[in-house]
Amino acid sequence: MTFSTTAAIFRWKPAAWLRVSGEDAANFLQGQFTNELRTVVAGGSVYGLWLTLKGKVVADSFIVRAAERTGIEGVSGPVFWIGSYFSTAAVIRERLEGFIIADDVVIEDQTESCRAVSILGDDVQDVLKTGTLSGVMFPGRRERQGNAEWIYPATSTGEVERALAGLRELSAGEIERRRIEAAIAAVPTDIGGGDLPGEGGLEEVAISYTKGCYLGQEVMARLKSMGQVRRRLLRVASATGDAPVALPADLFNGGRKVGELRSAVDDGAGGWRGLAMLSLIQAKPGALFSFGSDGALTVRLTDAP
């Protein structure tokens, strides 16, 4: 395939790339994952979460249904791939294996043997339709307008390099700026074990309220009926100084802790921007915060809650 000259790429290493197979794999994953899997056709994908019984976020991932039964000896039933930017294979695997009782489900960790590249640009839909390249492609979450993720075996690196030759490469800082500008929560950095999906703005993209039972589903249904959460991950910025080296960093207003800065990146103009978990009571448009109870108010809310 020939990529558009306007395309840009970002090379990355998945934190998780698990192959799940077995006769019960589809039903098992459906009963654990927060999003609907029954409508995912071969070659399709969906983004969602793995929760605790209390609805707190353990990890996030994409689930891709393999385009075909890959001919692996001894494998029966559909094959699924579970991949994540930041949630580790160990965490996701432990979460799943804790609920396998008598199910015919096999989980294999392929993380170390794979590589990945994000493709950003105007021809993302054309990229996703190609069937001529090794590996797995699916829509990603690098920015709001979408992108393509290409995860492939390390043994196919030569083929991939030839396909991507000449394309502009993005730095990790640029990818982080795009993510933060789009207010896309990173799990577990921005939303983790003490947080609910709705606090990170994930309820619309990662939760199905019609699929039926899954771990944490009762809490999600109750929160939906009750309405708004009390905290929210919101965009903040500072035009002065550097962001704290150690994150999360407490944020204060009027001498009272009102939240935490969870992510931050250089904005390229002498300041920084980030994502903060903030109490909605304190999150008024243009509100200012400090990094200490008596510090200067150098952090400004840029979102409109």
CATH code of the domain covering residue 294: 2.40.30.110
pLDDT at 131 over 60: no
- 13 and 155 in a single domain? The answer is yes
pLDDT-derived band of residue 244, with 50, 70 and 90 as boundaries? confident
For residue 220, tell me if it sits in a domain: no
pLDDT in tens, 144-180: 888 999 999 999 999 888 888 888 999 999 999 999 9
Query: How far, in Å, CA of 119 to CA of 68, rounded?
Result: 24
- 65 and 166 in a single domain? The answer is yes
pLDDT at 2 over 80: no
pLDDT at 271 over 50: yes
Do 151 and 116 meet the contact criterion of CB atoms below 8 Å apart? Answer: yes
For residue 198, tell me if it sits in a domain: no
**pLDDT reported for residue 127:** 65
For residue 141, tell me if it sits in a domain: yes
Residue 108 backbone dihedrals phi, psi, to 5 degrees: -120, 130
pLDDT in tens, 191-239: 999 999 999 999 999 999 999 899 999 999 998 887 778 999 999 999 7
Range of the domain at 284: 230-305
Q: Work out whether the CA dihedral 283, 287, 289, 293 comes out positive or negative.
A: negative
pLDDT in tens, 6-54: 789 999 999 999 999 999 999 999 999 999 999 999 989 999 999 999 9
- 141 and 270 in a single domain? The answer is no
For residue 2, tell me if it sits in a domain: no
pLDDT-derived band of residue 71, with 50, 70 and 90 as boundaries? very low
**pLDDT reported for residue 6:** 75
- Of 160, 180, 200, the residue that ends a domain is 180
Specify the pairing of strand 8-12 against strand 168-169.
parallel
Do 237 and 269 meet the contact criterion of CB atoms below 8 Å apart? Answer: no
CATH code of the domain covering residue 34: 3.30.1360.120
- 139 and 251 in a single domain? The answer is no
Percent over 70 (pLDDT), the chain: 91
- 165 and 261 in a single domain? The answer is no
pLDDT at 292 over 90: no
- Of 180, 215, 239, the residue that ends a domain is 180
- 137 and 251 in a single domain? The answer is no
**pLDDT reported for residue 121:** 83
Place of tokens 């794979």: 114
Among 86, 94, 119, 140, which residue's Cα sits nearest to residue 262? Answer: 86
pTM of structure: 0.92
For residue 3, tell me if it sits in a domain: no
Place of tokens 């390249």: 133
**pLDDT reported for residue 227:** 72
pLDDT in tens, 77-126: 789 999 999 999 999 999 999 999 999 999 999 999 999 999 998 766 66
Domain count along the chain:
2
3-state secondary structure labels for all residues of the chain: CCCCCCCEEEEECCCEEEEEECCCHHHHHHCCECCCCCCCCCCCEEEEEEECCCCCEEEEEEEEECCCCCCCCCCCCCCEEEEECCCCHHHHHHHHHCCCCCCCCEEEECHHHEEEEEEECCCHHHHHHCCCCCCEEEECCCCCCCCEEEEEEHHHHHHHHHHHCCCEECCHHHHHHHHHHCCCCCCCCCCCCCCCHHHHCCHHHHCCCCCCCCCCHHHHHHHHHHCCCCEEEEEEEECCCCCCCCCCEEEEECCEEEEEEEEEEECCCCCEEEEEEEECCCCCCCCEEECCCCCCCCEEECCCC
- Of 145, 180, 215, the residue that ends a domain is 180
For residue 194, tell me if it sits in a domain: no
For residue 129, tell me if it sits in a domain: yes
Do 148 and 118 meet the contact criterion of CB atoms below 8 Å apart? Answer: yes
- 141 and 276 in a single domain? The answer is no
Neighbours of 224 (CB within 10 A): 12
